Structure 1
Amino acid sequence: MYAPQEDTALLSAALADEPLAPGVAVLDVGTGSGALALAAARRGARVTAVDVSRRAVCAARLNALRAGLPVRVLRGNLFEPVRGRSFDLVLANPPYVPAPGAHRPPRGAARAWDAGGDGRLVLDRICHEAPGMLRPGGVLLLVQSALSDPGRTVDCLRSAGLKAAVTQRRRIAFGPVLRTRVEWLRERGLLSPDESEEELVVIRAERPV
């Protein structure tokens, strides 16, 4: 299981900026260890968390139990376990790192970060499916890398009828995954020769009332 990283911290900061009325319905998709789900539950939200990884589901359930917070944790692929439901807030920290060998689906721990040749294997699914999970006035908060085209994410969400924009940015040093792919990313034109940092962004998208 992938431990929380800088992207989780950035999305957590965006979550802290959102007004949450007691009892609002929150979905944390790709919950990992459950850090964001717990943060929302501490503010009185009714939280459902989903992850495709058995280890992540076990960890999130254990962390919720230890914290004494009533988070419902389900195993499944993105929105499949919550079909037919809608939410006031959807949190998403999906895999978004461009990966060589895009014809092969990611396996094992790499499912937490590898996302096809352009980094959009899961992002495009979220753009397509998340708008239908939001109640009127509901908000999607999504974190991704600038390497996987935030502008395309914003455009897709706007095309679905949401008000969408980048609301947070943070530059960080390359992590262990990107360090192994620097040359490949430069060959693809995704990194310039002098770049040594990655930019993370949070996109906020709201369904009109």
Structure 2
Amino acid sequence: MRLLRAPGVYTPQDDTALLVEALHAAAIAPGARVLDIGTGTGALAIAAIRAGAAEVTGVDVSRRAVWTARVNAALQRLPLRVRLGNALEVVAGESFDLVLSNPPYVPAASPCAARGPARAWDAGRDGRQLLDPLCARMFDLLVPGGVLLMVHSALCGVDTTLRQLRDNGLKAAIVQRRWVPFGPVMHGRVEFLERHGLIEPGQRLEELVVIRGDRPERAE
């Protein structure tokens, strides 16, 4: 799938592809309502529409990303709604059959960037500045029986994500995983990652995982 990408908008790469694989494996029901958190180019949202979703909403804090996703959907004549802002605020009070998320998760020496390309990946010292709020609010974003599919690096705590989702009422498990070589961002902060014990000396691969969270049909 060829997509336009404005400068500064996250380029779909290994984590995007892994999440698309999980989306297809999940076999979402036709007519599903889908939320794509951090839509970027709209790659995941468009994949969800093509997989049979009836109503897809993409949300991003970047104006350029919102514009890019809208243009990509229009060029492919797909009915994608794209909204600007923090998804946890923009869709507050709504719930979905499926939530997709490829959030910022790369550990960084400073908090999430307020602007610029880095806010698509920088996520604080432990990589969880966005992950923790998402885990805390995910139950409310899903209808009973709804599904979360979220990708992130094992460097920022797979067990932590599983525990937080379970503590907040979801069933959670890893459904996809893949080792990939470091890209430019990771190569650029090898010294920081080694100094803080997030990677072994000389390590130049990271494991990506897709975590599935299921909201039970009934309260347990």
In which range does the TM-score fall when normalised by the shorter chain? over 0.9
Q: After the TM superposition, which of the residue ranges 144-153 and 105-114 deviates more from structure 2?
A: 105-114
Alignment of 1:130-209 (within 5 A): 130-209=138-217
Q: After the TM superposition, which of the residue ranges 197-206 and 20-29 deviates more from structure 2?
A: 20-29
Q: Distance in 2 between matches of 1:18 and 1:203?
A: 12
Q: Distance in 1 between matches of 2:201 and 2:100?
A: 33
Of residues 35, 42, 46, the one that matches 1:34 is 42
Q: Specify the alignment match of 2:20 in structure 1.
A: 12
Q: CA deviation at 1:33?
A: 0.2
C-alpha RMSD of matched pairs (Å): 1.0
Q: Specify the alignment match of 2:6 in structure 1.
A: none
For 2:167, the aligned partner's letter is S
Q: CA deviation at 1:166?
A: 1.1
Q: Distance in 2 between matches of 1:56 and 1:130?
A: 23
CA contact (8 A) 1:106 1:115 kept: no
Structure 1: gaps spanning 5 or more residues: none
Alignment of 1:30-179 (within 5 A): 30-45=38-53, 46-102=55-111, 105-179=113-187
Aligned length: 208
CA contact (8 A) 1:137 1:208 kept: yes
Partner-residue secondary structure (3-state), 2:87: coil
Deviations 1:32-57 (CA, angstroms, capped at 9, x unpaired)? 00001001111231101100000000
Runs of 4+ in 1 over 3 A off after TM superposition: none
Q: CA deviation at 1:67?
A: 0.9
Q: Distance in 2 between matches of 1:171 and 1:117?
A: 22
Partner-residue secondary structure (3-state), 2:151: strand
Q: CA deviation at 1:3?
A: 1.0
Q: CA deviation at 1:59?
A: 0.4
Partner-residue secondary structure (3-state), 2:164: helix
Q: Distance in 1 between matches of 2:10 and 2:51?
A: 25
TM-score w.r.t. the length of structure 2 is 0.92
Q: Distance in 2 between matches of 1:106 and 1:190?
A: 24
Deviations 1:150-179 (CA, angstroms, capped at 9, x unpaired)? 110000000011100111111110000000
For 1:72, the aligned partner's letter is R
Partner-residue secondary structure (3-state), 2:194: helix
TM-score w.r.t. the length of structure 1 is 0.97
Q: CA deviation at 1:27?
A: 0.4
Q: Distance in 2 between matches of 1:182 and 1:22?
A: 44
Q: Distance in 1 between matches of 2:208 and 2:29?
A: 28
Partner-residue secondary structure (3-state), 1:79: helix
Q: CA deviation at 1:106?
A: 4.3
CA contact (8 A) 2:151 2:209 kept: yes
